[in-house]
A and B are shown apart, each in its own frame.
Chain A
Amino acid sequence: MNPLFGMIRRDLLLVMRRKSETLTALFFFIVVMSLFPLGIGADPVLLRKIAPGAIWVAALLSSMLGLQRMFAADHTDGTLEQMVLSPTPLYLLISGKIISHWIVSGLPLVLLAPLMAIQFDVDVGALKIVVLALLLGTPILSLIGAIGAALTLGVRGGGVLLSLLVLPLYIPVLIFGSGAVYAYSSGLDVSGHFSLLGALLIMSGIFSPLATTAAIRVAIE
């Protein structure tokens, strides 16, 4: 079997055997989203306005929750070391892990977002933009997050450190992702935002597995 797909299949299987961790991150997303109306007030006009930003912030936080799990278990039981030693390029295996992380933590957010957007009274046109932007943006979150996860592998206070490393790098995604929706609601052209998100996706898609691979080699040696 192709090692890339083999890796994705293996990681998805592992997640399916222990569903609770993944579901926790999804419920976290829903809970954070429900906090905004409670904290800010239930004014529909205001909620409609903050919805894209709130969805993105919640998505950022909840996709970060699962990051530590990406390599931690494999690192403790030595699987990661075997991956480094194996003749298969580590780049492929890592890419597989990142893709499966996105399928588990990013894709559900894309599917849940419309539901959340309806709660915030977002109209159908903006809803499509939200979903499209998330579809382009959440893979970037997994890609950038993988670098942070690999760097903090087996490090003291890894969880907090991970957020400090990764969140600043997430900011461009947040800006362009929510910017697309704001541009749409103010009647501007959204293609620029999508082009930039696409460019970010391509850039991080190429370089992030490289950086992650290097970071894992550093952590293993």
Chain B
Amino acid sequence: MNFRLLNWFKYASPGTFYPLLDKMIPLFWILTAIFAGLGLWVSFFVAPTDAVQGDGYRIIFIHVPASWMSMFIYIVMACWAGLGLIFNTRLSGMMAQALAPTGALMAFLSLWTGAFWGKPMWGTWWIWDARLTSELILFFLYLGFIALQASIDDPRRADKAGAILALVGVVNIPIIYFSVTWWNTLHQGASVSVNTAPSMAHTMLWGMLLMALCFWMYSIAVALMRVRVIILERESHTEWAKSRVGVAI
């Protein structure tokens, strides 16, 4: 095969990516539903009641996936932002823009469920410890990114300015991730780690992983739906976009 036939940038154009979106979005919604069903079933009915924390620990099935996603989405967003700056592709900026609200939602969920978990377990809604504070900073970073993009009228400039901000803020991610290792605080250490056996029952771990997959699929599905709207908005001057939404040309 002629190597040049393999066009790496084929789907970098909004026009060719748009039809693909129509196929991908239903797929990811179906996956979300499957993983949500399985994950919720395991986390409510299969996973045993915790010896110390009772049934209250079941917040973990929302809390941990949301926290993971909040960090991971930021990294993905920063990667898209970096790609956009390097290759000057329009779609990269759109992807970054589409991911930001979902990431902010995940950071908010993580803080919110954390507060609900903290009240019965630690006896406090909020404590200014390293992990909570750095997660809060992450939430602010998302808000800053969204606000910056919203206040610049020219979409190309908004993409680039947002990209620089996203890349600057990415410094915070390792700080959150390792905060429980670096500082000994109230927040418990990581429950799951690559090197050691997880410090929890297997069914609990499975519930958490299934829920994480569910959050993952949900984030992809929602981000793609948002990107579809952004593409239509920005490409509204083109013929194909007009014919898509049924405007008479």
Contacts and interface: CB of A to CB of B under 8 A. Distances in A.
Given A151-B148, A165-B148, A218 B165 contact: no
Interface stretch (B21-29, B56-64, B108-116, B136-144): B136-144
A156 B151 contact: yes
Nearest to B141: A168
A11 to B, nearest CB: 23
Contacts of B164: 147, 151, 211, 214-215, 218
A124 interface: no
A218 B140 contact: no
Given A171-B133, A211-B167, A211-B168, A165 B157 contact: no
Contact of B140 (A151, A168, A172): A168
B89 to A, nearest CB: 16
Contacts of A178: none
A118 interface: no
Interface in A112-167: 147, 151-152, 155-158, 161, 164-165, 167
Given A203-B171, A211-B167, A215-B161, 14 more contacts: A151-B165, A155-B151, A156-B151, A157-B151, A158-B151, A164-B140, A167-B140, A168-B137, A171-B137, A172-B175, A214-B164, A218-B160, A218-B161, A219-B161
- Tell me what chain A mostly uses at the interface: helix, strand, loop, or mixed: helix
A147 B168 CA distance: 9
A206 interface: no
Contact of A161 (B140, B147, B171): B147
- Tell me what chain B mostly uses at the interface: helix, strand, loop, or mixed: helix
Given A164-B147, A171-B137, A218-B160, A155 B152 contact: yes
28 contacts: A147-B164, A147-B165, A151-B148, A151-B161, A151-B164, A152-B151, A155-B148, A156-B152, A157-B151, A158-B151, A161-B144, A161-B148, A164-B140, A164-B147, A165-B144, A165-B148, A168-B137, A168-B140, A168-B169, A169-B141, A171-B137, A211-B164, A211-B167, A211-B168, A214-B85, A214-B164, A218-B161, A219-B157
Interface in A171-196: 171-172, 175
Interface residues of A, number: 24
A207 B167 CA distance: 11
A151 B141 CA distance: 14
Which one of A158, A168, A214 has the greatest number of beta carbons of chain B within 10 Å?
Answer: A168
Interface in A196-212: 203, 207, 211
A155 B160 CA distance: 14
Interface string B165-185: 101110100010000000000
Contacts of B147: 161, 164-165
Nearest to B160: A218
Contacts of A207: 168
A152 B153 CA distance: 12
B104 to A, nearest CB: 13
Contacts of B169: 168-169
* Across the A-B interface, the 9 shortest Cβ-Cβ residue pairs: A168-B140, A218-B160, A165-B144, A168-B137, A156-B151, A164-B144, A151-B161, A215-B164, A155-B151
